[in-house]
Amino acid sequence: MLANEKLILALPRGRIMDDVMPLVRHVGIEPEPAFFESGSRQLRFATNHPGLDVIMVRSFDIATIIAFGAAHLGVAGSDVLMEFDSREIYAPLDLDVGHCRIVVAEPEDLVKRDNPKRWSHVRIATKYPEITRRHFAARGVQAECVKLNGAVEIAPTLGLCERIVDLVSTGATLKANGLVEVEEIAKVSSRLAINRTASKTRSEEISDWIGKFRDAVHAVAA
């Protein structure tokens, strides 16, 4: 059960943080100094707003944390929201950072002899089994997914599978592993994600923060 009086904002660790922090600052949220210490084991941080705490978690976990109401709002990639596909999460605002794409890729030589129309079943290595299954099911192909949490691009050369579904931004990693993009599934960017129950039971506070983030997106873009 969740009885936190404070609002909790979940932010993703890692590289994406550099893109997100300017927005967070623009909104007027300043986390305590420990937030920026790389060696810190702390996971929850106070901010200059007494009613708001920040937590730092892996970007893939943010959707789960918000769906269960453990955090009220957060920054999540649209890839993660698509994969999790929860009815308990609202994603009202595109933050216009963290742009990349989810694509299907396969080895170059396979492209030449492959006829996608004849597929009834494909085996695919991916971090996104749900997105992959839905995407292929929509065109009548059954996707058997091998779930990997990283280094997905290496799977075809190891004979684990022939194709992968993964994020690309520049395409350099694909190229380095002899893969080519054959299909784009979706464009990805970071979204402001909101817990549904919180958006109903604390609607004034939540709309206030959405408004501030919206202004920040416009200001940073300008």
Q: Which residues bind other proteins (CB under 8 A)?
A: 1-4, 67-69, 81, 86-94, 191, 194, 197, 200-204, 207
- Retrieve residue 93's tokens: 């605002």
CB 77 within 8 A of CB 66: no
CA contacts within 13 A on the Cβ side of 124 = 26
CB of 138 to other proteins, least distance (A): 9
CB nearer other proteins, residue 127 or residue 191: 191
Evaluate whether 24 touches 18 at the Cβ level (below 8 Å).
no
| Shortest separation between residue 161's beta carbon and other proteins, angstroms | 28
In whole angstroms, how close is the CB of 68 to other proteins at the nearest point? 7
Closest CB to other proteins among residues 23, 67: 67
Q: Smallest distance from the beta carbon of 131 to other proteins, in angstroms?
A: 13
In the bound state with other proteins, the residue whose beta carbon lies nearer, of 134 and 175, is 134
3-state percent breakdown (helix, strand, coil) of the chain, nearest 5: 35, 30, 30
Compare residues 80 and 179 and give the one whose CB is closer to other proteins.
80
